[in-house]
Amino acid sequence: MTHTLNQTPTPMMTMGGRAESQALADEHLAPPPVRASGLRVDFKGQPGVLAGLDWTLAPGQVVGLLGRNGAGKTTLLETLLGLREPQAGEVRLFGQPALAPDDALRARLGYVPQQSALFEDFPAADLLRYFRSFYPRWNDAKVDGLMSRWEIPRERRVSQLSQGQQQRLSIIRALAHEPDLLVLDEPVASLDAAGRRDFLRELVDQVLDRGTTVLFSTHILSDLERVAFNVAFLSRGRIALQAPQDALAEEIRLLSGPVGRLQAAVDAHGGQVLNRRDLGERPRWLVRFPGGQLPASDAALRCEALNLEDLFLELTQ
């Protein structure tokens, strides 16, 4: 089941509001950066890693992808980029099939894979020069600025950089050709708090300056709270929920109580049940109330707001 909430303006969104609202306005004119339909990927002994997944990203969106370990986040990101052929379904990037991109489309894509220790034999500067040779556009000023700001020794081989430096270098490489769609697979896993904040600032700048669509997976929920305007939950091979963060806070509630009371509350307030957990006499339902009309707690019914971490656990368990 896929649920996509409508976006509403929020304080967080004002950071990237201009670019995003412009992008949303253009959505009907230009094909979306990512449109996946009916994606199915099975592994041997593990069917339904992606199970008929449908997903569309609007231009200028910053989407944080959440899912448990082994949920298929990396597989999804690879499939979206055309690096992995799905058994069924199709991905279109800016309207083109992801499996047969032309050079112009490829110049619009940026990717930071999960593994950061890549091109180990190259000195950092040579690695950037190497990638520069492939792309028609390359922002030397941005590269130089980030290399200095993130204190990456240019002559040191990638294998001799720390994990954090390797990850920063990988991010610089992905940003240097100014992509329109940036896909990052757990980009901050090896960064310390300062490094993560600096990276997220750079990401926000990128969105503000260029209206880049950003999709990144992470396990660090506090980073999502800081920067991802939209959060998507991958569970059981599908996007179980995608919504702006403030909408999540305002509209999602965890109800517990007798089944009759839960059903009555859902019916009365036009709720959509996202997840049901049967815990004996007091089942727990995760419910979205799109209109913001929330039921009140009483002796028989408990209605709780959830933070991102609790929501993640409820949705993905």
Partner 1 sequence: MSAAGSVPGHGGHAAVLRTIGRSLRRLWWLLLPLAAITALASIKSASAAATAFCISTALLLQFAWWVGGSSLSAQNHPDFARLVPGHLRQLREVAVALFVVIAVADGLLMHAVFGRFLMFTLIAGAAIVGFAVTMRWPWAWFVIWIAPWLVGPLFPDAGLWREVKALMRDWHEQQPLTQTALCMLAMAVVLWHLLQDGGVAHRRSWRMTRQIREMFSMKGGYSPRPPETRLGQLLVKPFTWGLPAWREHLLRTARPTAGSVVARAEIATMRGAHWSSILSAAGVVFLLLLITEIAALIWMPESQATQVLRNALPGTSLGVMSALFGPMLGATTSLYRTRAEQSLLVLVPGMPRGEAMNRVMARRMLTQFLLVLGSGAATLVLMVMLIPGEWSDDLPVMGLFFAATALPGGLLLWVDWARLRQPGAAQAVVMTMAMMLAMGMGVAGGRFFGLTPWHILVVTVPLTVVLGTWRWRAVRRMAPFWPVGRHADH
List contacts with partner 1 (CB under 8 A).
Answer: 42-44, 46, 78, 81-85, 87, 99-101, 103-104, 106-107, 109, 111, 113-115, 118-122, 126, 129-131, 133-136, 157, 159
- Tell me the three state secondary structure of residue 282: coil
d(CA 55, CA 4) in angstroms, rounded, equals 9
Least spacing, CB of residue 187 vs partner 1, in Å: 14
Instruction: Please answer whether residues 10 and 245 qualify as being in contact, where contact means their C-beta atoms are separated by less than 8 angstroms.
Output: yes
- Tell me the three state secondary structure of residue 109: strand
Q: How far is CA 148 from CA 35, 156, 192, in A?
A: 37, 14, 18
The nearer residue to partner 1, 111 or 229, going by C-beta atoms, is 111
Burial class (CB in 10 A: 0-12, 13-18, 19+), 200: buried
The nearer residue to partner 1, 135 or 283, going by C-beta atoms, is 135
Least spacing, CB of residue 108 vs partner 1, in Å: 10
The nearer residue to partner 1, 135 or 197, going by C-beta atoms, is 135
The nearer residue to partner 1, 21 or 135, going by C-beta atoms, is 135
Q: What radius of gyration, in Å, describes the C-alpha atoms of the chain? A: 21
- Here the tokens at position 64 are 């944080």
Least spacing, CB of residue 115 vs partner 1, in Å: 4
The nearer residue to partner 1, 178 or 314, going by C-beta atoms, is 178
Strands 96-97 and 213-217 turn out to be unpaired
Least spacing, CB of residue 89 vs partner 1, in Å: 15
Of 182, 174, 189, 231, nearest in space to 211 by CA: 182
Least spacing, CB of residue 178 vs partner 1, in Å: 13
The nearer residue to partner 1, 187 or 257, going by C-beta atoms, is 187
Least spacing, CB of residue 32 vs partner 1, in Å: 19
b or e along 9-45 (b: 16 or more beta carbons within 10 Å of the residue's beta carbon)? ebebbebbbebbeebeeebeeeebbbbbeebbbeeee
